[in-house]
């Protein structure tokens, strides 16, 4: 397939997923591109030791409008690029009706951001842009098999298709922001984004599952109680306290953001992220036992199929 081939509206491309898996799911499939080895080798060569691929350096130039050749470089314009692209690693085939752009705004976006959630990375369509760094090493401490990924995508796509437009938009945006969160480098930034995800999950739970509005201080308790997610009162209290100080007073643990904080405070963005990682399959009605595991542990958990309990 040519990436820009408009004659193949059922096909699209995205990247970068560094797993050579072909996943058939209800209403579609993903498969590695023919240049998969070259793509992943290129990505690996530019990935920092911290597991992220950073934007390249950019500069402004003056070009000849007739030939498009660079005439000169503009002084003092070298900087990390605001936007950058990554090569496609996989094709995406969808059976849903509509144009490619319509799918990208709907089921296509849901699928690639759901894959980003599952594999702990950030994905984008081949000709769209990334901003900031992109996690290449997984930021989701789970283990699973290809069969589980197929079962998860099939179930979630069926669920998504049965929802209202507002519910679809809420879960897709929550997935997008959740996948984007690790790109932020300060703990308070990551915390802010993950709390936005939490609020989006709560709104969806309220619309779809009738979760009661008990105020911000009780939202985590309400969600955990509804979906059978374990909770820790001290951690919940710490997260809510940090949220209130940051959102209402621009204070991070009683101090200025970007200042040093306690180790306990530093960990809360990760705890909040791990809570969201359990909320997402719960909201999508995917009854994996992973939902019931503790989100304050840094260990690796099995993400198993609820129907067949596929072992990792």
The pLDDT, as a whole number, for residue 42 is 97
Task: Spell out the long-range contacts of 295-302 with Cβ–Cβ below 8 A and sequence spacing 24 or more.
Answer: 295/229, 295/230, 295/271, 296/232, 296/235, 296/271, 298/141, 298/270, 299/141, 300/141, 300/142, 300/143, 301/141, 301/142, 301/143, 302/142, 302/143, 302/144
For 143-165, write each residue's pLDDT tens digit: 999 999 999 999 999 999 999 99
The pLDDT, as a whole number, for residue 214 is 83
For 233-271, write each residue's pLDDT tens digit: 999 999 999 999 999 999 999 999 988 777 789 999 999
**Average pLDDT of the chain to the nearest whole number:** 93
d(CA 312, CA 91): 25
pLDDT, greater one: 193 or 66: 193
Segment 84-95 shows an average pLDDT of 96
With 50 as the cut, is the pLDDT of residue 1 above it? no
Could you tell me what percent of the chain has a pLDDT over 70?
Answer: 95
How far is residue 246 CA from its own chain's centroid?
Answer: 23
Report phi then psi at 216, rounded to 5: -55, -40
For 223-235, write each residue's pLDDT tens digit: 999 999 999 999 9
Under a CB-based contact definition with an 8 Å cutoff, are residues 15 and 39 in contact? Answer: yes
């Amino acid at each position: 397939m040519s990436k820009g081939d408009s004659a193949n509206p059922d096909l699209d491309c995205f990247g970068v997923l560094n797993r050579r898996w072909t996943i058939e799911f209800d209403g579609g499939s993903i498969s590695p591109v023919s240049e998969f080895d070259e793509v992943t080798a290129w990505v690996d060569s530019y990935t920092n030791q911290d597991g992220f691929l950073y934007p390249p350096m950019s500069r402004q130039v003056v070009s000849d409008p007739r030939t498009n050749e660079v005439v000169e470089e503009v002084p003092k314009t070298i900087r990390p690029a605001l936007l950058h692209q990554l090569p496609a690693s996989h094709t995406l085939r969808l059976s849903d009706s509509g144009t490619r752009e319509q799918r990208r705004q709907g089921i296509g976006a849901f699928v690639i951001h759901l894959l980003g959630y599952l594999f702990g990375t950030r994905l984008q369509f081949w000709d769209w842009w990334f901003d900031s760094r992109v996690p290449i090493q997984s930021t989701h401490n789970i283990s699973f098999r290809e069969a589980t990924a197929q079962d998860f995508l099939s179930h979630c796509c069926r669920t998504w298709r049965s929802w209202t437009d507002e519910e679809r938009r809420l879960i897709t945006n929550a997935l997008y922001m959740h996948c984007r969160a690790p790109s932020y480098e300060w703990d308070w930034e990551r915390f802010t984004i993950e709390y936005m995800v939490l609020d989006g999950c709560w709104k969806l739970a309220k619309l779809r599952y009738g979760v009661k509005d008990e105020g911000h201080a009780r939202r985590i308790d309400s969600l955990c109680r509804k979906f059978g997610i374990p909770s820790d009162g001290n951690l919940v209290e710490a997260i809510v306290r940090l949220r209130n100080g940051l959102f209402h007073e621009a204070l991070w643990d009683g101090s200025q953001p970007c200042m040093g904080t306690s180790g306990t405070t530093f960990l809360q963005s990760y705890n909040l992220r791990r809570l969201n990682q359990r909320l997402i399959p719960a909201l999508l009605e995917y009854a994996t036992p992973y939902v019931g595991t503790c989100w304050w542990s840094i260990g690796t958990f099995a993400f198993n199929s609820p129907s067949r309990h596929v072992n990792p």
